[in-house]
Structure 1
C-alpha cells in the first residue's frame, strides 16, 4: 500500500473526519429541528405539515461523507505505477534564434528580412517530425517566445506574433 500512495499521512483524516463530522451533523440537524419547533411550535407544525424528513437528512449526510472520503483519497495521491521509467525519445532539440532588431525591417530582399526569416522557419517546421523546437528572439535582449515543445502549431502561432 505504501507504493500505491504518494501521501499516506493524509489517511489519518479517514479516521478523524467521521469522528468530527458525524456528531457535528447530528447537532446541526437537532438545532434545525429545535429552531423550527421554537419558531412555529409543535401544534402549528402539525397543522401546516412541515416535517423534517429523516430519510433526506440521512441521505444528505451519507453523500456528504462520501464526498469527503473521495477528497481524502485524492489527498493521498494514489498512483498506479510509482516507479520511474526511462523513456527513450528519438529526435533532436532545436532552438531557433531570430533577430528582431530594426535592421531586419530592411527590404533589400522582398519581403523584409524578418518576414523572409519567418517564412524560412515555417518551411523548416514542415520538414521536422518528432523533434522538439524552441523559439527565441533577440534585439539587444533575448526573449523566449516558445520553450522546447513538440507542438508545432504553438510554434507557428508564436512565430506569427513576432514583430520587430
Structure 2
C-alpha cells in the first residue's frame, strides 16, 4: 500500500504550473529584450555561449527539483497500515543522591554502592517496564531517560559516582 504521511503538502503541486508560466514568460521576455538589443542573426556572434537548450534544461531541472522536494515533504510511505501498539508496563524513574554523604560507610561498602546494588536488583526484576535514572547533588541530572534496554541501564548505573 502506498500513502503519504503528510498529504497536505501535495497541494503545493498546484504552484508548479504557475512556476512554469513564470519561467516561460521570463525566457520569452529575455528573448524579446535581446531582439531589441541586436539583430537575431547577430546573437550567435555576440553571445556564443548563450543557448536556449541550456536555459530550458536548467529551468526544467529546477522545476523537477521543486516537484521532488514537494513529494519529499509529503513523506511517501510503502507498507501496511499504521497500527498502534499498546504497551503494558509502567514507567519508573529512580532518583539517586550522589552527594558526599553517600560516601559514608555506615552501610558497607558505602551508601552509594548499596543503593546502586539495590537498583541493579530492581532492574533485573523488570519485564516490559521502562526505567530511568536521575542523579542529584544540589542539581538534578538525567543519567539515562526511560528505556527498556536494561543492559544499557545497568551500564549507566555502574558509571554513577560521587
Shorter-chain TM-score bucket reads 0.5 to 0.7
Higher mean displacement: 97-106 or 7-16: 7-16
Indicate the residue corresponding to 2:135 in structure 1: 137
Counterparts of 1:85 and 1:50, CA distance in 2: 61
Is residue 63 from structure 1 mapped to residue 49 from structure 2 by the alignment?
no
Cα pair distance change 1:28/1:163, threshold 3 Å: farther
- Cα RMSD of the aligned pairs, angstroms, is 4.5
Q: Secondary structure at the match of 1:4?
A: strand
Cα pair distance change 1:123/1:59, threshold 3 Å: farther
Indicate the residue corresponding to 1:96 in structure 2: 94
Counterparts of 1:149 and 1:133, CA distance in 2: 5
Counterparts of 2:138 and 2:37, CA distance in 1: 75
User: Number of aligned pairs?
Assistant: 161
Cα drift, residue 120 of structure 1: 6.2
Cα pair distance change 1:80/1:42, threshold 3 Å: closer
- Equivalences for 1:145-164 in 2 at 5 Å? 145-151=143-149, 155=153, 158-159=156-157, 162-164=160-162
Indicate the residue corresponding to 1:24 in structure 2: 22
Counterparts of 1:91 and 1:112, CA distance in 2: 32
Counterparts of 1:111 and 1:37, CA distance in 2: 93
Q: Structure 1: any 5+ residue segments left out of the alignment?
A: none
Counterparts of 1:74 and 1:141, CA distance in 2: 43
| CA deviation map 1:7-36 (0-9, x unaligned) | 4443332122221x1233234445666788
Cα drift, residue 134 of structure 1: 0.9
Q: Secondary structure at the match of 2:50?
A: coil
| CA deviation map 1:134-163 (0-9, x unaligned) | 112244665533221134575466546645
Indicate the residue corresponding to 2:72 in structure 1: 74
Q: Structure 2: any 5+ residue segments left out of the alignment?
A: none
Higher mean displacement: 149-158 or 55-64: 149-158
**Contact 1:96 / 1:134 at 8 angstroms: preserved in 2?**
yes
